[in-house]
Structure 1
Amino acid sequence: MTSVAVIGAGPYGLSIAAYLHDYGVNTRVFGIPLDTWRSHMPAGMLLKSDGFASNVYDPKSAGTLAEYCRERGIPYHETDIPVPLDVFSDYAMDFQRRFVPGLEEVLVTSLTRNGNCFLLKLTDGQEVLADRVVCAVGISHFAALPTELAGLPPELASHAYDHHELTRFADRHVTVIGAGASAVDTAVLLSDNGATVSLVARSNVVKFGGKPEPRGLWEKLRSPSSGVGPGLRNWLCEAMPSLFRFLPGNLRLRLIRSHLGPKSPWHMKARFDAGVSTHLGREIVSAREVDGRVELDLGGETLTTDHVLAATGYYPDLARLAFLSDDLRRSVRSHARMPMVSRSFESSVPGLYFVGPAAVNTFGPLMRFMVGAEYVAPRISHHLAQGAPAIRSRRRRWLVR
């Protein structure tokens, strides 16, 4: 038995575990460390987040990316030097070894209620009882594939989440769907790896951010910086995420969809323009297999391609968490299929918590960024540490029965 089980070993799961360890809470962490970053993001990618917002967090701020780079002579700047994916992955793995050495590299296959506790079944055959469970699964279950592509076999259509190495697409024509940072990154890296790349997007323009420039006091006051991005709205998302849950449901959904819309970092524009052709203002009407290739109907235009790669984002649908029992899933209060949680990230099932993208409908766009772990980890760990003695007492009474 354990007091807290953390499902997931990305920036949120590792940060929460580091804080709980500091509190002395009996914690077990399950997951493949940094699996999304190491296996499901394109090799060679540069992070969209600035250096100062690309950390995994511990209570004493002893494991920052800046310190990691300084010790190893790796170029680093808070805002002006993009962070390479491999640098971040190596840094986060180093953080895991230092602050969460007891991580168990197994997956949770089943989570059910068991009296006053939760029963977790793991891929290695273990069964673990936990007083409380934190779901920190990131985006790993939530890839959103357009329905128009659903009938195509995986060798012809896939989601960006399915790929790390893109060398397999050399000398092939690949069509990327989307206009956000993931679509631009994937398209550029496909081109770098020898593919012929087209990008299809509903928007009429692919947007890029501006290059960081020195700013005066007035500019900083008018458009404050944050880990989410520049501007007052972004600053509010990071500084006051607890207010988001008080907004009407339809407004929350609109903000989740529209705030921080598709936009890529400035440093990707030249590479994108040089290597990617575009079909903008277009939607996929239908897609069908023709002689081993894909024929896309774009509404008045037909595009034939070897592979369609959808960089169409993620939707934290509670039903996609296959390890949850039907009983738990039905018991979790949700809105638009997303779990709703308290100010302490606890769901309507006592002892079951959701953080990161799964909590976006309660805490807003901040939960889509790793910098959100800086807000989540100290708050949820303090809450869990406070409840630990009472939980242990209740568990003992239940075991006696």
Structure 2
Amino acid sequence: MTVATDITIVGAGPYGLSIAAHLRERGANFRIIGSPMQSWLRKMPKGMLLKSEPFSSTLYDPGSTFTLRRFCKDQGLPYQEVGLPVSAETFSSYGIAFQKHLVPEVEDTHLVALKRCSAGFDLSMADGMSFTTRKVVLATGLDSYRHIPEPLAHLPRELLTHSADHHDLEQFRGRDVVVIGGGSSAIDVAALLHEGQANVQVIARKPTISFLPMDMPARSLLQHIRAPMSGVGPGWKGLLWTDAPWLYRYLFDHFRIRTAKKFLGPAGGWFMVERFSAVPQLLGFQLLRAQAIKGRVELLLADLDGNHRQVSTEHVIAATGYNPDVRRLSFLSPEIVERLQLIGQTPRLSSHFESSVAGLYFVGAISATSFGPTMRFVAGADFTSQRILKHLTHPSRRASFAVPHQANSMPGTE
């Protein structure tokens, strides 16, 4: 069987494009599969602003030349390192410009089947194309991991959607909508629905809604000492996870799993406080049951004291985030899934992002349990690109499982 290429990147978002830019600069034999910036262009609501500060919302080429700062300057768009939120539209346009300038060879199709073969891996695409490759980097983003709470899962599609289903919220103008969730997606979607004249209400288990503090363009020396700036916001923990992701692999499994999920948990951007304040909210209520009755959804809730309350609506939007789980990647063959050694629900990765299936790499949010919560953000693409590059371009190198065995780890997985 003829090997079509040495390396194939699956996914053309911030991580896939950043890695591809580094491989291209090295002259590597690679292909990249995916629709450029698809999630940002089609699954983020119009008008959304990024929580990440502009300085940490950039893609990464080897010389760090095609930055968001440069793009905004070239386009005559306002920009400052912190304190001026970037719109999803601006970030998407920047990502497309980065792709056209630095990764023009993107093949706009998507993977439907990945299996092992004697030459490495066999890939089958939605457009009927298939080929083999020695190494595969999965940079497929979050879309496969959408989380829908169990009480809602049985509702029909016309009554229930996920927040990632809505790039344009205009269809809800004048309609009754309930948004379930207390994080940034719920805050953003609810505020945009309210401003678009929908009759929206937010229901969340948390008794209060959290917002990240505003990062000031000018900070005193004392402020820097107390909470140094990092790619995921101010604070010593954020600085540690951003500047030393390699250290994360040496921590205990239970700590890694919890921190990857909980660090910088559900919270809106500081700039959404006033906009969200106008949205009706039911806080401190747990969803017990949802029923479809005569074209509407009847929700049964319970407050912190166990008192019940019913809410009726035309449509429910589950802004309930994502739950990375490698078993939800439908294109992976059963044989690959069975051979993957896991930490929680995600692949246990080597020091260069390689899984226990030789030649198969995972990057982005699914790598957060191996390299820390920074991998949930665009800022993690910098470390990832540089770390994975040497391993991808040296065929003789194998995974480095150098972390001491932990009692709650599977042997030979580090």
TM range, smaller chain: over 0.9
1:243-282 equivalences in 2 (<5 Å): 243-274=247-278, 276-282=279-285
Could you tell me whether the CA contact under 8 Å between 1:3 and 1:388 is conserved in 2? no
Could you tell me whether the CA contact under 8 Å between 1:56 and 1:373 is conserved in 2? yes
**Structure-2 separation of matches of 1:141 and 1:375:** 24
User: Shift of the alpha carbon at 1:251?
Assistant: 1.6
**Structure-2 separation of matches of 1:227 and 1:98:** 25
User: Shift of the alpha carbon at 1:386?
Assistant: 2.1
Shift >3 Å, 4+ stretches:
none
Q: Which residue type is aligned with residue 148 of structure 2?
A: L
Deviates more, 1:304-313 or 1:208-217: 208-217
**Structure-2 separation of matches of 1:28 and 1:212:** 39
- Give the direction of change, closer, same or farther, for the CA distance of 1:114–1:236 in structure 2 (3 Å limit): same
Matched, 1:209 2:212: yes
Could you tell me whether the CA contact under 8 Å between 1:25 and 1:388 is conserved in 2? no
1:2-401 equivalences in 2 (<5 Å): 2-213=5-216, 214-274=218-278, 276-299=279-302, 300-387=308-395
Q: Which residue of 1 aligns with 2:412?
A: none
- TM-score, reference length from structure 1: 0.95
**Structure-2 separation of matches of 1:37 and 1:321:** 20
Q: Which residue type is aligned with residue 233 of structure 2?
A: G
**Structure-2 separation of matches of 1:237 and 1:303:** 41
- Aligned to 2:185, the other structure's residue is in SS state helix
**Structure-1 separation of matches of 2:346 and 2:160:** 26
**Structure-2 separation of matches of 1:51 and 1:388:** 38
- TM-score, reference length from structure 2: 0.92
Q: Which residue type is aligned with residue 370 of structure 1?
A: V
**Structure-1 separation of matches of 2:195 and 2:393:** 48
> Per residue, is there more helix in 1 or in 2?
1
| Deviations 1:82-138 (CA, angstroms, capped at 9, x unpaired) | 001111111100000011100000101100011141000011111111010000011
Structure 1, unpaired ranges of 5+: 391-401
| Deviations 1:218-246 (CA, angstroms, capped at 9, x unpaired) | 21022111111110011111011122222
User: Shift of the alpha carbon at 1:388?
Assistant: 7.3
Q: Which residue type is aligned with residue 42 of structure 2?
A: S
User: Shift of the alpha carbon at 1:211?
Assistant: 2.7
Q: Percent identity?
A: 42
Q: Which residue of 1 aligns with 2:410?
A: none
| Deviations 1:290-327 (CA, angstroms, capped at 9, x unpaired) | 21111111121111111111111111101110000000
**Structure-1 separation of matches of 2:270 and 2:367:** 29
- Aligned to 2:132, the other structure's residue is in SS state strand
User: Shift of the alpha carbon at 1:179?
Assistant: 1.0
Deviates more, 1:262-271 or 1:27-36: 262-271
| Deviations 1:258-314 (CA, angstroms, capped at 9, x unpaired) | 21111111111111112x111111110010012111111112111111111111111
Q: Which residue type is aligned with residue 50 of structure 1?
A: E
Could you tell me whether the CA contact under 8 Å between 2:215 and 2:234 is conserved in 1? no
Structure 2, unpaired ranges of 5+: 303-307, 399-414
- Aligned to 1:141, the other structure's residue is in SS state helix
Q: How many residues align?
A: 389
Deviates more, 1:159-168 or 1:342-351: 159-168
